[in-house]
Each structure stands twice: as structure tokens, then as C-alpha cells.
Amino acid sequence: MSQDLLHMRTAITLAKYALDHEETPVACIFVHSKLNKVIAYGMNGTNESISGISHAEFMGIKQIQEKYGTDPKILSEVVLYVTVEPCIMCASALKQLGIKKVVFGCGNERFGGNGSILCIHNDTSTNKSNKYVSIPGVLRREAIMLLRYFYVRENDRAPKPRTKKDRKLDKETFPPLQWDKYLTLEEFEDEFGQEFRDAFYSHRDVYDEIDWDLIDTGCDESFLHDLIEQVQSVNCTY
Ligand SMILES: [Zn+2]
């Protein structure tokens, strides 16, 4: 299994933890690319904090800034794995802080800043030197399924739930992935290999088998505990 898949599995597991704790299932980890260690993690906390800007990425950035300073040079060696495409606000923060690369699961059709709505990651009108490569589609279906679980549950709790037909959980169909909104063919092939070129043009997933175990198994406290321990123990310099 590739490192990208392994790291995204961690992010998906954290997103499941968020779902199990009444939050929107969006989560991320920041990985030092040379050490291959998690240096920060984040989960969506907008419900608990009642703040619309408590996004997973900001939780991770806060941890990094507390440890490495407010202008953390270390980010130029760090890859962010996040289950949903960063929103415009987070994409902009990541760019200004000089992140190396972002890998995400599913697109964010309303607020996405890495290609869905705006292309903050390769925008040259602000800080030209801080462009970053953004890779979509890693465990995309798992990320989408967690969001579907969340919205079906929220609807069930609404004062006027929609009809049963409307809230049937769809486990079969997934929207096409228009890769060229997010990255070039060259970037795609660098990431996934030439053998998947057909997926790029036909808007298919590279990973289309859903790992149901990954999203149905709850994330227990020991998983989170081990992750926090790893984050605290890693001591890297730029
Ligand atoms: Zn955000």
C-alpha cells in the first residue's frame, strides 16, 4: 500500500471519530515527508466550538504553530492529508504558510479552494513562490460515504425529516471525478503512474473499491491516544 493511502486511512479513521462525536466527518493529518511522521492532526470542531471557522486544517496549523512558531518553515517539508478538499479559507492559509503538498479525498463543491471553486493552490496573483501541488481522489469514496452517513443522520434529527425515499443512503453511485479541475495530467501521472491515465480522461476513481471496514469500524480512544503520542514525540527541525 502506498504511503499516501496509509496516511489517508489515518485521516479517514479520524473523520469517523468526528462523526461518532457529533461533528462533521472531516479530518486531516500533517505528515513530515522526509521523516514520514505525523506532526499534527485536526478534526472538524465547528459544532463543539459553535464556530464556522473551526476547520480541521486550522486545528492542525495551531498545533504546528505552537510547537514550531508562527512562521513554521517546517511546512515546506509537510504534506497535508485531508478527507475533504480544503475550503477557500484553509487553502489560502496553507498557501501563505508554504505547505509542500495537499492530498485530499473528495472535492468540496461549495467552498473548495483547490480546484472545485477557486484554484488557490496554484494562484499566482498572491504569493507566487508558495504554489503547492494538490492531489484529489485518494479514498474519495470513503470520504463521501462518511459525509452521507452524517447528512442522513442530521436529516433524521431535523424537525421535519424529509421523506424516507429522500434519505435513503446511497452506497452505490458516486459523481465523476473531473481530475483536470485539480491537477495537470503530468501531476496526475507523477502521483498515480501512467497506467491510470485512462482514469484521468474518463473521470473515474483510481481507487474505486470501498473499504467498508475502514469506515464502519469505530475509531476508539486508543487510536487517538497513539496518534497524539506520535505527534508529541516527533521532534523535527526544518
Ligand atoms: Zn476550511
> Which pLDDT score is estimated for 130?
85
How many A from CA of 30 to the centre of ligand 1? Answer: 15
> Which pLDDT score is estimated for 38?
96
- Is 195 marked active-site? no
> Which pLDDT score is estimated for 137?
97
pLDDT band at 47 (very low <50, low <70, confident <90, very high): low
Average pLDDT in the chain: 90
> Which pLDDT score is estimated for 51?
65
pLDDT at 49 over 80: no
How many A from CA of 86 to the centre of ligand 1? Answer: 5
Cα separation, 90 vs 129, in Å, equals 18
> Which pLDDT score is estimated for 54?
81
Q: What structural domains and CATH numbers belong to the chain? A: 1-167+208-233 (3.40.140.10)
> Which pLDDT score is estimated for 173?
94
> Which pLDDT score is estimated for 44?
87
Among residues of the chain, what percentage have pLDDT more than 90? 70
Rounded mean pLDDT of 164-169?
Answer: 69
Count CA within 13 A, CB hemisphere, residue 185. Answer: 10
pLDDT band at 154 (very low <50, low <70, confident <90, very high): confident
168 or 169, which is more confident: 169
How many A from CA of 194 to the centre of ligand 1? Answer: 32
> Which pLDDT score is estimated for 160?
74
Give the residue from 175, 192, 57 showing the smallest Cα distance to 135. Answer: 192
Rounded mean pLDDT of 153-157?
Answer: 80
154 or 164, which is more confident: 154
Rounded mean pLDDT of 35-51?
Answer: 82
Rounded mean pLDDT of 21-45?
Answer: 93
Which one is catalytic: 23, 57, 77, 142? 57
Give the residue from 57, 90, 81 showing the smallest Cα distance to 136. Answer: 81
pLDDT band at 163 (very low <50, low <70, confident <90, very high): low
pLDDT tens digits along 72-86: 789 999 999 999 999
141 or 156, which is more confident: 141
How many A from CA of 165 to the centre of ligand 1? Answer: 31
140 or 23, which is more confident: 140
Rounded mean pLDDT of 49-63?
Answer: 84
105 grid coordinates: 479525498
How many A from CA of 89 to the centre of ligand 1? Answer: 5
Rounded mean pLDDT of 142-170?
Answer: 82
